Copies of this chain bind each other. A is one copy, B any other.
């Protein structure tokens, strides 16, 4: 992110509020954790020798990841939250982030609200903006996050083992329930909508849980594309299979009030909740529950991992449920 606040040297005449002014006004904060933050060609970062960097990037496009007109404060929260969720799924401690932003126009009210939502969540996680880019273009938010994890402690997708329990944090499916309302697929009552919409627009990244699960959980992934689809990624990477008990999925009152087919579709195939799906040895059940309590996050045991490489969904009576639920795919879906 190039910027030039408080220009006293300039080869240029005074311009209307432009890229550099906007960046300085809304996105420049002093670097505390970085050796060098916003304002040079690159940021400079250094870690302790026994730490590894976890890094991830996510792009949010208007009309695809959020609807036009989404409250910019909530959008600032969400853009960072979905990236923090990737750190959570590795068991990494958030350190810093970069923000590249394409905007149709330099809308100050929008920028003020967006940056407020962004930095509020950043402050909660002690993470700082160290660089970025702004440009004019169709609304697009691309964040890159960096976290730290002790060498060998990351929760990887390929670490699930036969005999592991399968766990999920929180209540999966509520974000998809809100999306269905916004899309006109069904109608929620006001209170249910408010609850579900907050889950869609302001997901809570399970950072504390990811940290608490280091040394306990085997594999972890954040559910962004749908529970079964994301579970499939873990199973393939780990070369194992799993059995999921559909009725073991935690519902909460809002989902519990929905028809079974809708509820099941939201819970199994809906993304955007950013809950953690993880596996842990059956012998560590008590440790998982202690870690979750310490992190202040509900967790539910929803199935088990098996050696046979297939994914089986069963009902309360243990009968197989056929499922057409597929992972969200940004290109395959309409």
Residues on A facing B (Cβ under 8 Å):
2-4, 6-13, 15-20, 22, 35-36, 39-47, 49, 51-59, 61-65, 85-87, 89-90, 92, 98-103, 105-106, 130-138, 140, 142, 144, 146-147, 149, 151, 154, 156-158, 220-222, 224-225, 228-233, 235-237, 241, 309-311, 313, 323-327, 329-332
For A137, give its contact among B19, B64, B147, B233 (CB under 8 Å). Answer: B64
Taken together as a complex, chains A and B put the C-alpha atoms of A65 and B100 apart, in Å, by 14
* B residues in contact with A220, CB < 8 Å: 41
Which residues of the other chain, B, contact A19 by a CB distance below 8 angstroms?
A: 329-332
**Cβ-defined contact, A42 with B59, below 8 A:** no
Give 12 A-B pairs besides A3-B233, A11-B231, A57-B131 with Cβ atoms closer than 8 angstroms.
A11-B311, A12-B325, A13-B324, A18-B332, A39-B157, A40-B158, A49-B49, A55-B144, A56-B131, A58-B133, A61-B102, A102-B140
Beta-carbon contact of B54 and A326 below 8 Å: no
Whether A146 contacts B55 by the Cβ 8 Å rule is yes
Pair B56/A43 contact, Cβ less than 8 Å: yes
Question: Which residues of chain B are within 8 angstroms of A42 by Cβ–Cβ distance?
Answer: 54-56, 86-87, 89-90, 92, 147, 154
A63 touches B137 (CB 8 A): yes
Verify B2–A132 contact, CB threshold 8 A: no
The 9 A-B residue pairs whose C-beta atoms are closest, nearest first, are A12-B326, A18-B332, A61-B137, A142-B142, A42-B54, A59-B100, A41-B89, A18-B329, A138-B138
Known: A61-B137, A106-B331. A233 touches B2 (CB 8 A): yes
Q: Which residues of B contact A7 (CB under 8 A)?
A: 232, 236
**Option from B20, B43, B58 in Cβ contact (under 8 Å) with A100:** B58
CB distance from A64 to the nearest CB of B (A): 5
Residues on the B chain within 8 Å of A130, using CB = 55
User: In the complex, which of the residues A41, A134, A310 has the most CB atoms of chain B within 10 Å of its own CB atom?
Assistant: A41
A240 nearest CB neighbor, chain B only: B9
Q: What residues on B are CB-neighbors of A86 within 8 Å?
A: 41-42
Structural contact, B2 and A224, CB atoms closer than 8 A: yes
**Given A56-B42, A100-B142, A157-B41; A13-B133 close (CB under 8 Å):** no
Q: In the complex, which residue of chain B has the Cβ closest to the Cβ of A233?
A: B4
A325 — nearest CB in chain B belongs to which residue? B11
Query: Is A18 a contact of B100 with CB atoms below 8 Å?
Result: no
Known contacts A42-B90, A55-B146, A233-B4: A331-B22 contact under CB 8 Å? yes
Q: How far is the CB of A145 from chain B (nearest CB, A)?
A: 8
